[in-house]
């Protein structure tokens, strides 16, 4: 709830397994989770000066993509998604005007023509140019370790050609922003509280949290997590994915 999120930001509540489970879903690399719905970016009239606008997003993070495009994120976006033949523009190839020949943007992006076409890129350029002209703060979201998707490379190349400033954030940072820094609070908590959080998680969730701690270099917290007994050892029932679906 909004009240709970505010309390978490103030440090008066610790994140529970629900927030952690949502974090795992957001950072998970599973493009099949993307809703197969045509999306043509945030409304142009909202792209005003000073707005935080995501101009490039890794499609492999399907659950996170749904958050961005459903309106539940505070970020605006110029990203485009034409999922299938039902979407206007799917399979359409747009010539590169500055190339002087008939090659389409597919060759710029993928070095070959793709079945899904490149109308999405032409639409993305138009909307991104509006964000640039209007003085929006441009944001590129990367995957966990700072790498980007194949289509993203073309988007970033375009931004560099335009010589515009943009900020890169990882999918973890996107998740932290959306969940009011839930996991970040876990990493800053003391040993006793971290153990209590671990008790709430299923074995699978516990392992995922340990993986996150390891990737983030939190060696002391990782050692504490390893020493935490299984929920069954202390008479606590572990929360499962079914119990805490987001």
Q: Write out pLDDT tens, residues 181-207.
A: 445 444 554 444 455 556 555 676 667
Could you give the CA distance from residue 235 to residue 229 in angstroms, rounded to a whole number?
Answer: 10
Q: What is the mean pLDDT of residues 122-132?
A: 97
* Residue partners of 98: CB distance under 8 A and separation at least 6: none
Q: State whether residue 142 is helix, strand or coil.
A: strand
Q: Is pLDDT above 90 for 229? A: no
In sign, the C-alpha dihedral spanning 155, 43, 64, 219 is: positive
Coarse DSSP helix, strand, coil percentages of the chain, rounded to the nearest 5 percent:
50, 10, 45
The mean of the pLDDT values for the chain is: 77
pTM assigned to the model = 0.68
Q: What is the mean pLDDT of residues 105-123?
A: 95
pLDDT above 70: percentage of residues in the chain: 64
Least confident of 23-32, 159-168, 212-221: 212-221
Q: Write out pLDDT tens, residues 95-112.
A: 987 656 678 999 999 999
Q: Write out pLDDT tens, residues 50-98.
A: 999 999 999 999 999 999 998 878 899 999 999 999 999 999 999 987 6
Phi, psi of 137 (to 5 degrees): -90, 115
Q: Is pLDDT above 50 for 31? A: yes
* Residue partners of 129: CB distance under 8 A and separation at least 6: none
């Amino acid at each position: 709830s909004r009240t709970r999120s505010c309390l978490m930001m103030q440090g008066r509540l610790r994140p529970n397994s629900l927030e952690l489970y949502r974090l795992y879903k957001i950072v998970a690399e599973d493009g099949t989770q993307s809703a197969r719905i045509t999306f043509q970016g945030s409304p142009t009239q909202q792209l005003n000066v000073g707005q935080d606008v995501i101009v490039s997003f890794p499609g492999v993070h399907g659950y996170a993509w749904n958050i961005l495009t459903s309106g539940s994120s505070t970020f605006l976006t110029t990203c485009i998604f034409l999922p299938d033949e039902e979407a206007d523009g799917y399979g359409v190839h747009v010539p590169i005007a500055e190339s002087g020949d008939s090659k389409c943007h597919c060759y710029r992006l993928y070095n070959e023509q793709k079945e899904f076409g490149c109308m999405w890129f032409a639409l993305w350029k138009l909307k991104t140019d509006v964000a640039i002209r209007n003085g929006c703060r441009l944001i590129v979201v990367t995957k966990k370790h700072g790498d980007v998707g194949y289509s993203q490379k073309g988007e970033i190349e375009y931004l560099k050609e335009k010589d515009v400033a943009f900020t890169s954030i990882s999918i973890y940072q996107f998740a932290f922003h959306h969940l009011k820094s839930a996991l970040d609070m876990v990493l800053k908590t003391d040993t006793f509280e971290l153990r209590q959080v671990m008790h709430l998680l299923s074995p699978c969730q516990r392992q995922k949290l340990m993986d996150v701690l390891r990737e983030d270099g939190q060696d002391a917290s990782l050692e504490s997590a390893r020493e935490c007994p299984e929920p069954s050892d202390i008479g606590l029932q572990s929360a499962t994915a079914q119990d805490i679906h987001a």
